Amino acid sequence: MEELLKTLSVDSSCRAEDFLEGRALLINKPYSWSSFDVVNKIRIQFKKYLGIKKIKVGHAGTLDPLASGLLIICTGKATKTIDQLMGMDKEYVAHITFGASTPSYDLETEPDQHFETDHITKAEIQKALQGFQGIQMQAPPVFSAIKKDGQRAYEQARKGKSLKLDKREVEFKDLELLAYTAPTALVRVVCSKGTYIRSFAHDLGKALHSGAHLSGLERTAIGPMKLDGALSMEQFEKLLVTIQTI
């Protein structure tokens, strides 16, 4: 881990060779971009600004297009640390809107059911959150990349096929209600690898005898790495302009 953290230092003193050798980049993924969009854009920028035609680039944990926040991009030999990075705890700030559920558990699909929310209070949400603390068995959303019968679940779900995915063990290390302005709660979530925040939002709605969906999500930390140390795509591009080419 100590060696990995050393590769996080990316500034104008870096050389093109440093990225080939291996760097871990903290990027603030923009809303609507897929994680692959970020990887692809960085590959293009390496070629354009640094003259690097061939380089290993990968990300350490997918962030959905409808989410923003911390995405770790690894280059060169640092791609060997991806599995280690993916195993770290994650921190998110989730916007959870009560009163409607959606098939995808987020805003990718339209609401399919509506519910009452008058009974939901800040105190009730805080009480419900306590029930999620610790190890839980969580069912992934059917709109996910998990394979079922040889096909991605989301491909089958989009065709209208009814699916039931096996529950998986996840752990919620910390849950904090940051704010509640009906019908939307702002919740800080610290959780283990493999936790679906969309499923958490859906399950929280059910726990409150209502329905809910994830209306916004920002990843704020991966292990010891924080979003406030990340570069926007624009900042990273400006940095590359100052770096010595091959």
Task: Output the pLDDT for position 164.
Answer: 76
Q: What is the pLDDT of residues 162-218, one digit of tens each?
A: 677 779 999 999 999 999 999 999 999 999 999 999 999 999 999 999 999 999 999
DSSP β-bridge partners for residue 174: 190
245: confidence class by pLDDT, cuts 50, 70, 90: confident
Is 106 among the residues known to form the active site?
no
Q: Where are the beta strands (DSSP E) in the chain?
A: 22-29, 57-59, 68-76, 90-98, 100-101, 113-114, 134-138, 147-148, 151-152, 168-181, 184-191, 212-222, 225-226
What is the CATH code of the structural domain delimited by 90-222? 3.30.2350.10
Q: What percent of the chain has pLDDT over 70?
A: 87
Residue among 97, 57, 95 nearest 77 (CA): 57
For residue 172, which of 94, 70, 75 has the smallest C-alpha distance?
94
CATH number of 2-87+224-241: 3.40.50, 1.10.10, 3.30.70, 2.30.300?
Answer: 3.30.70
Measured CA to CA in angstroms, residue 82 lies from 20, 68, 85, 145 at distances of: 16, 20, 5, 19
Q: What is the pLDDT at residue 141? A: 87
Active-site annotation holder among 11, 18, 64, 106: 64
Give the integer Cα–Cα distance in Å for 234 and 88. Answer: 27
- Reported as a single tens digit per residue, the pLDDT across 44-55 is 999 999 999 999
Q: How far is 237 from 44, CA to CA, in rounded Å?
A: 11
Domain ranges of the chain: 2-87+224-241, 90-222
Give the pLDDT score at 159. Answer: 65
Q: Which residues share a beta bridge with 27?
A: 71, 231
Q: Which of 103, 122, 123 is nearest to 113 (CA)?
A: 103
Q: What is the DSSP letter of 87?
A: T
- For residue range 12-56, what is the model confidence (pLDDT) as tens digits? 778 889 999 999 999 999 999 999 999 999 999 999 999 999 999
Residue 171 three-state SS: strand
SS3 content of the chain, % helix, strand, coil (to 5): 30, 35, 35
Q: What percent of the chain has pLDDT over 90?
A: 80
**Rounded CA gap, 202 and 190, in Å?**
17
Per the prediction, the chain carries an average pLDDT of 91
pLDDT per residue as tens digits for the range 122-177? 999 999 999 999 999 998 887 766 766 667 766 666 766 667 777 999 999 999 99
**What pTM value is reported for the model?**
0.91
* Among 64, 115, 97, residue whose Cα is nearest residue 213: 97
